[in-house]
Amino acid sequence: MLSYLKTVDGRITKLSACEPGCWISCVAPQEDEINGLIRDFGIEPDFFRAAMDEEESSHIDMEDGNTLIVIDIPVIDKNGKNIVYYTTPLGIIITEKNVITVLNDENPIIDEFAEGVVRGVQTNLKTRFILHLMFRIANRYLQYLKQIDKVSNSVERKLRKSMKNAELIQLLDIEKSLVYFSSSLKGNEITIEKIMRGRAIKLYDEDQDLLEDVLIEVKQAIEMSNIYLNILSGTMDAFASVISNNLNIVMKVLASITLIISIPTVISSFYGMNVDGLPMPHFWFPLALAGVCMFIAFLILRKKDMF
């Protein structure tokens, strides 16, 4: 779907057709829509293929006066009670008079720009518009990282009480999300540093402060994701040790119980043999002897901390 948006009187306005200085938002575009943009703006077809490739990493490419910037943006997927975080590429194509964004699925970041939630956006100022978009993406990473930290703490509290597989699997999903975020943010950082050199897109003096703010936010998100990842990895290792230790305790108790229970079996097997000469061949004696031996074995095992 193609949407043409432009800043008119300080507000984002939806247009019926493309105009110079407007922003073209492509969300899950059809083949004919892509071919129309390639034809109208002289864009390299590989730009769209790269922007819509889920495995594409963050980078900058230039061809025939057009520039492609691929940035990984965070995505949240709610599947029942489980929440999964991952990243998807956002393609930003800069033409002579317009900015085109390409995305495979709808995303709240793009929706916020289209609905005018983000203030101070000027679509005709291409560089500033792109930096506003990157700044919003970096902020969303920080927001999702805080959510991940809260979810991780909640799951950890549940895991201390229950030790169920569901909580462990949820922690594994969180760890996977942090790995996705960390790798994507590092790629975004490299791309932003290339932009800062001023070779990929034209930078103006008033854009420098905003670009530095973007880089600071990305670096902060990288640091946060690494910290949370290290904490979560340590937590997973600690719980794995606790679960293993609990299993050892259970096995130790079961072995002790098995040893005590085997005492009456041994004594009764002797008195069950059809031979003469057994001491005290009365019904009560093997029971009393077994009880005394079991009690002594219990005391010995208790002293050895087997119970």
What pLDDT, in 10s, does the model give residues 125-167? 888 888 889 989 999 999 999 988 888 888 878 777 766 677 7
Q: Which domains does the chain have, with CATH numbers?
A: 2-244 (3.30.460.20), 245-303 (no CATH)
Strand order in the sheet with 99-103: 11-15, 2-8, 23-27, 99-103, 82-94, 66-79, 59-63
Q: Which long-range contacts (CB under 8 A, 24 or more apart) does 187-190 make?
A: 187/57, 187/58, 187/59, 187/72, 188/58, 188/71, 188/72, 188/134, 188/137, 188/138, 188/218, 189/215, 189/218, 189/219, 189/222, 190/58
pTM of the model: 0.79
Question: Would you state the structure tokens that stand for residue 93, as one six-digit string?
Answer: 């194509």
Q: What is the pLDDT of residue 97?
A: 84
> What CA–CA distance (Å, rounded) separates 31 from 195?
30
Q: What is the pLDDT of residue 275?
A: 62
Q: What is the pLDDT of residue 109?
A: 86
Q: What is the pLDDT of residue 44?
A: 84
Q: What is the pLDDT of residue 220?
A: 92
Q: What is the pLDDT of residue 277?
A: 65
Give the confidence band of 219 by pLDDT, cuts at 50, 70, 90.
very high
Mean pLDDT of all residues belonging to the chain: 83
Residue 163 backbone class (left: φ over 0; alpha: ψ -120 to 50; beta: rest): left
Question: Would you state the structure tokens that stand for residue 307, as one six-digit string?
Answer: 């119970």
Share of the chain above pLDDT 90, in %: 6
Q: Which of 136, 150, 154, 141 is nearest to 225 (CA)?
A: 141
Top-confidence residue, 202 or 86:
86
